[in-house]
Amino acid sequence: MNSTVFDASSWDASLAPLNLSGQASYISDRVTLDGPGDGNPYLDFTANAIDQNINVNFPSSGPWYTLDTGFLSLYGAGDHVDYRSVNGSDVSLNTTLPLAYAQDAIPSNFYSLHVGSASTSVAVPGSLVLGGYDKSRCLTEPLISDTDTFTLTDIEIGVASGNSPFSADEQLPVTDLLQTGAGGILNVYPNPGVPYLHLPRETCRAITKHLPVTLNETLGLYIWDIEAESYQNIMTSPSYISFSFQTSSSKSTIYLPFALLNLTLEWPLVDYPTQHFPCSPYESSDGRYHLGRAFLQGAFMAQNWQTGKLMLAQAPGPDSAGASLATISANSSSVSPMIKAPSWDTTWASKLKPLTRGNSSTPTESKDNTVDASGHLSSGVLAGIVVGVVVLIVLVGLCWAWFQRFRKSSSQANDEMGVTKDAEIYESDSTTSSLPSEVWAPGKYGLTRSPVEMDAAHVNELQGTPAQVYKQDPR
């Protein structure tokens, strides 16, 4: 029951930022759910799309890569997918969430998602629950939309605690980074199907103006300067980028630490692993901009297809509480946040440390006091240096005088005792023992030298050649 092939660019409007090319087709398959539901977990005759060399194309005409990951559809507005099979017959297949609900495998046509982070340095396990949600992933009262988009009103850069990792002349938080040219607001779609923050070019430019990044025009992505001191400080401190949203009745802000936005490009896009900031300049054809998986690393998303409600809230970091699963009924319009939920930065405390004056790139007061307004050393510092040099000279002179006096007295004592300057070796009392015995060796001036540790050298492996295996001559 395979469908005829269709153009990948017409597959799904939500994948427009990927600029897909190639072809795909629908097939029928079985999906098996693993969970505590009482209904039938076997979802037969579900529609699946298979790719036939689908490529993801970047804004410029050069780079592309073949799609090598699949998509799990969380669409639930329709029960069926209809298409024409290769033999000309009409086929109607099921969609996953509605079928699971119809078979009582889940209590509602609902899902919740927190993508989390796969980074080894800031790993946050992901969470996907069908028919319910994990309360520990929802830290704030969710913002609720009756459509598939939210209104983005501002983007800011700041630091939750400690010194600033940004330039010393930055006044934090840096606000008004949302540059739209259309009244300062933007319709954005939280979209797990695309990877980046697909925002207007002016907005990406306004954000990255404050970061140690450069734009790779070919890929349309910003590359981190990993050698910059500010880069290290940004990635290890609770510095953040925040997104402020509003509806007709409420407002909410979601914070993403920059540590989540230190993503890695790999071959075939680059020759070696390259760290990038995932703000991708995007020109929307339908007025929607996309906050992809990079955003959903730090945001909680949920949707009830039966009530038409889309929810967005703050998600935790790696120090989150244990899972607390809750089911959602078919008529629920919202979810409740975690009871006594911690602040977002508290859930990052084990990974992100506030910068102090000692480890911040911002000039400190103690450093400023060593120079005057003209950039020269202050008089207090100069006086300290002069006093230190005089004291050092006096100490060196005293040590030299003491050494000469001691040398003279030791030489006289040796002459009286008849001890030669050459080290003498005395045999042990036993002339029959073959065991080693300790001998006495006076050093020069009758003193033995204290043991010292020699300079270390790294152990290096010599260059080798492959082992050759020879067959035995049967003769």
Domain ranges across the chain: 1-106, 108-363
Q: What is the pLDDT of residue 403?
A: 47
Please state the φ and ψ torsions of residue 416, each to the nearest 5 degrees.
-70, -35
**Structure tokens belonging to residue 436:** 């080693």
Residues 6+ apart with CB under 8 A from 180: 186, 200, 202, 203
Number of CB atoms found within 10 A of residue 283's CB: 10
- For residue 302, count CB atoms less than 10 angstroms from its CB and return exposed for 0-12, middle for 13-18, buried for 19 or more: buried
Give the C-alpha separation, 194 to 293, whole Å. 6
Cβ pair 128, 293 in contact under 8 A:
no
Looking at residue 56, its pLDDT comes to: 92
The tens-digit pLDDT sequence of the chain (475 residues) is: 788 888 988 888 899 999 999 998 889 899 998 876 677 889 999 998 887 789 999 877 778 888 877 888 999 999 999 988 888 899 999 999 999 999 999 999 999 999 999 998 899 999 999 999 999 999 999 999 999 999 999 999 999 999 999 987 789 999 999 998 767 899 999 999 999 999 999 999 999 999 999 999 999 999 999 999 999 999 999 999 999 999 888 899 999 999 999 999 999 899 999 999 999 999 998 999 999 999 999 999 999 999 999 999 999 999 999 999 999 999 999 999 999 999 999 999 999 999 997 655 443 333 333 334 333 344 443 334 333 433 344 344 544 454 455 444 444 444 444 433 333 333 334 333 333 333 333 333 333 333 434 344 443 443 444 444 334 444 4
User: From residue 82, how far is each of 11, 32, 91, 92 by CA, in Å?
Assistant: 13, 22, 6, 4
In this prediction, residue 359 carries a pLDDT of: 56
Indicate the pTM of the whole model.
0.75
Structure confidence at residue 450 (pLDDT): 37
How long, in residues, is the chain?
475
Can you tell me the distance from the alpha carbon of 106 to that of 95, in angstroms, rounded to the nearest whole number? 14
pLDDT of 393 reads: 45
User: 306 and 106 in contact (C-beta within 8 Å)?
Assistant: no
Six token digits for residue 55: 């490529």
Question: Which two tokens mark 23?
Answer: 């072809």
Q: What is the pLDDT of residue 15?
A: 92
Q: Cα–Cα distance between 5 and 51 in angstroms, integer?
A: 9
Strand partners, 254: 243
Q: What pLDDT is stored for residue 411 in this prediction?
A: 46
User: What CA–CA distances, in Å, run from 117 to 237, 301, 316, 439?
Assistant: 17, 15, 11, 66
3-class secondary structure per residue, 230-259: HHHHHHHCCEEEEEEEECCCCEEEEEEEHH
Sign of the dihedral defined by the CA atoms of residues 238, 242, 247, 249, in that order: positive
Fold of 108-363: Cathepsin D, subunit A; domain 1 (2.40.70)
DSSP alpha helices (H): ranges in 263-347?
A: 293-296
Residue 205 CA: distances (Å) to CA of 68, 192, 287, 327: 30, 23, 19, 42
**What are the residues facing 397 on neighbouring strands?**
none
DSSP one-letter code for 445: G
